[in-house]
């Protein structure tokens, strides 16, 4: 048996512990059955996602294939017709005719490759074309049944459980706590403050002490059931979270609570204080902290100069919190070499390849191969689809498995490791490290006590 086929069989037969998705609750998808609702006007990806309520093929393109269609020249008006309007207004076939020229231009990318695999493996459609899209709509409607998340994750994507970062709430009270473990998002608590979230805590925040109490309430309420903390403030600012004392942050918060707006500098200083406060809470609750690093979703909005500094900006933060485990997501693409150095050097830094396999499959393979020759194998998590829709995880998981198989085989063929060494590593990369890092049992016990 050749190396690639024995490693391939092993990787094929091993279930991923998926460490990053944005899956909405299954019950919401069930509510969309039979619906053909237009999406309210949207100006960017997030409102588009929040307003979408159709189980149809464009939903599968929404994240992230649409980005590459736009990169290949699809216009805002065309995007509105395909994603905004109902099928009653523009039929499924007409929508495909709009998308097709851009699909032909972009179908080489990881985003589109992953989607094509999903069409093949989940919907048994060899290729997407005009007459297949209506069949996919019908198959999707049929697929969306109670329990279908588990079926797709287990039977089609080879995923045992997924970790969900809700994008429209701090934490989902999920129906399936043993399938969809939940991150506690601390963006609205620290870096993009949303004063309205104080309401469930029964606090009217006017001082920094009040806001600390709001943060404390969220940790008390969700912390025991959460699997990790999550923050994606890298989309709006640098990650240079230098400590800011409470006395310095207090007048800034008071002004904000008074309805005044803060300068960018003041708002970042307040964010610095609250971010560090949340990191202390993470240590108290023993929750790993997942941070977005590197590439941005969307198009025409990425300041590479800021992203380039992510790894360096984080060094003092990592050093200041030795009791916090930092999981740096998406390999910081396209600056992934720096993340190999970070994970090698800092005992509290881990790297997650979530999303990376579809951003750039070859770069992800290159990264993993080099990283496995420099960094303890215990410090990587290798799969997170990073999707809102469960269907698309299938194609991404396939690309990840192909990448892992290729990397492990190369390492054997080039004489670095024996086959049994790589199988042991494969086990770690796909699930063992996650089982070590995250307190699944503790979270589940808290859910059942709740």
Peptide bond between residue 64 and the one before it cis (omega within 30 degrees of 0): yes
Task: Name the one range near Zn ion by CB under 5 A: 108-116, 124-132, 386-394, 441-449.
Answer: 386-394
Q: Which residue has the CB atom at the shortest distance from Zn ion? A: 386
* Residue nearer to Zn ion on the CB measure, 338 or 386: 386
Minimum CB distance to Zn ion smaller for 67 or for 386? 386
What sign for the dihedral angle of Cα 36, 40, 41, 42? negative
Is residue 386 a contact residue for Zn ion (CB under 5 A)?
yes
Q: How far apart are CB 165 and Zn ion at their closest, in Å?
A: 6
Per rule CB under 5 A, count of chain residues that contact Zn ion? 1
| H/E stretch holding 19 | strand 16-21
Q: Which stretch binds Zn ion (CB under 5 A): 115-123, 213-221, 244-252, 380-388?
A: 380-388
Binders of Zn ion among residues 152 to 181 (CB under 5 A) are none
Which residue lies nearer to Zn ion by CB, 208 or 351?
351
Pick 170 or 252: Cβ nearer Zn ion? 170
In the complex, the smallest distance separating the C-beta of residue 299 from Zn ion, rounded to whole angstroms, is 16
Among 341, 344, 371, 346, which Cα is nearest to 356's?
Answer: 371
CB of 2 to Zn ion, least distance (A): 36
Contacts of residues 122-127 at CB distance under 8 Å and 24 or more positions apart, as own/partner, are 122/152, 122/156, 122/391, 122/394
Between strands 16-21 and 326-329, the pairing is: unpaired
CB of 162 to Zn ion, least distance (A): 12
Q: How far is the CB of 408 from Zn ion (least distance, A)?
A: 26
Roughly how many angstroms between the first and final C-alpha of the chain, as a whole number? 51
| Piece in contact with Zn ion (CB under 5 A), picked from 61-69, 98-106, 379-387, 418-426 | 379-387
Instruction: Please report how the helices 208-222 and 246-257 are oriented relative to each other, as an axis angle in degrees rounded to 10.
Output: 90
Distance (Å, whole) CA 28 – CA 6: 41
Q: Which is nearer to Zn ion, 120 or 306 (CB)?
A: 306
The DSSP secondary structure of 287-340, one letter per residue, reads --EEEE-SPPSSSS---HHHHHTHHHHHHHHHHH-TTS-EEEEGGGTT-HHHHH
Q: If you search the block for the tokens 């994750």, which residue do you land on?
A: 153
Query: Which of residues 160 and 386 has its CB atom nearest to Zn ion in the complex?
Result: 386
Residue 355 or 367: which CB sits closer to Zn ion?
355
> CB-wise, 386 or 439, nearer to Zn ion?
386
Residue 143 structure tokens: 């697929």
Strand partners, 163: 181
Report in angstroms how near the CB of residue 126 gets to Zn ion at its nearest.
30
- We find the least distance from the C-beta atom of residue 294 to Zn ion, in angstroms, to be 11
Nearest CA among 46, 52, 44 for reference residue 84: 52
Cβ contact 440:19 at 8 Å = no
**Which region among 47-55, 319-327, 384-392, 426-434 touches Zn ion (by CB under 5 A)?**
384-392
C-alpha 71/C-alpha 199 separation (Å) is 41
Residue 22: CB minimum distance to Zn ion, A: 6
Applying CB under 5 A, the residues found at the interface with Zn ion are 386
């Amino acid at each position: 048996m050749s190396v690639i086929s024995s490693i391939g069989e092993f990787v094929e037969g091993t279930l991923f512990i998926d460490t990053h998705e944005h899956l909405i609750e299954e019950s919401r998808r069930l509510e969309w059955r039979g619906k053909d609702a237009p999406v309210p006007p949207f100006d960017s990806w997030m409102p588009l996602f929040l307003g979408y309520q159709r189980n149809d093929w464009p939903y599968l393109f929404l994240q992230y294939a649409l980005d590459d269609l736009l990169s290949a020249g699809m216009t805002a008006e065309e995007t509105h017709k395909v994603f905004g309007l109902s099928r009653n207004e523009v039929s499924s076939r007409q929508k495909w005719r709009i998308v097709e020229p851009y699909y032909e231009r972009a179908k080489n990318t990881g985003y589109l490759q992953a989607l094509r695999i999903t069409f093949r493996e989940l919907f048994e459609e060899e290729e997407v074309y005009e007459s297949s899209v209506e069949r996919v709509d019908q198959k999707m409607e049929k697929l969306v049944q109670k329990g279908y998340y588990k079926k797709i994750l287990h039977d089609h994507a080879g995923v045992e459980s997924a970790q969900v970062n809700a994008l429209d709430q701090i934490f989902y009270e999920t129906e399936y706590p043993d399938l969809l473990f939940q991150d506690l998002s601390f963006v609205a608590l620290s870096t993009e403050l949303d004063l309205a979230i104080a309401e469930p805590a029964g606090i009217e925040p006017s001082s920094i002490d009040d806001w600390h109490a709001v943060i404390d309430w969220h940790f008390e309420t969700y912390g025991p059931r959460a699997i990790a903390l999550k923050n994606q403030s890298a989309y709006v600012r640098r990650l240079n979270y230098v400590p800011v004392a409470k006395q310095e942050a207090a007048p800034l918060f008071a002004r904000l609570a008074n309805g005044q707006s803060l300068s960018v500098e003041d708002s970042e200083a307040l964010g610095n204080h609250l971010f560090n406060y949340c990191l202390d809470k993470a240590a108290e609750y023993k929750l790993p902290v997942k941070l977005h690093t590197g590439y941005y979703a969307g198009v025409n909005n990425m300041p590479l100069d800021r992203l380039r500094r992510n790894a360096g900006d984080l060094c003092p933060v990592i050093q200041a919190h030795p009791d916090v485990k930092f999981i740096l997501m998406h390999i910081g693409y396209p600056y992934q070499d720096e993340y190999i150095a970070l994970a090698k050097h800092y005992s509290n830094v881990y790297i997650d390849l979530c999303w990376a396999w579809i951003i750039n499959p070859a770069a992800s393979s290159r990264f993993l191969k080099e990283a496995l020759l420099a960094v303890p194998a215990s410090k990587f998590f290798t799969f997170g689809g990073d999707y809102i829709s469960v269907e698309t995880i299938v194609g991404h998981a396939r690309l990840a498995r192909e990448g892992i198989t290729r990397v492990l085989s190369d390492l054997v063929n080039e004489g670095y490791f024996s086959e049994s060494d790589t199988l042991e590593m494969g086990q770690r990369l796909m699930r063992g490290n996650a089982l070590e890092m995250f307190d699944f049992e503790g979270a589940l016990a808290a859910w059942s006590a709740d």
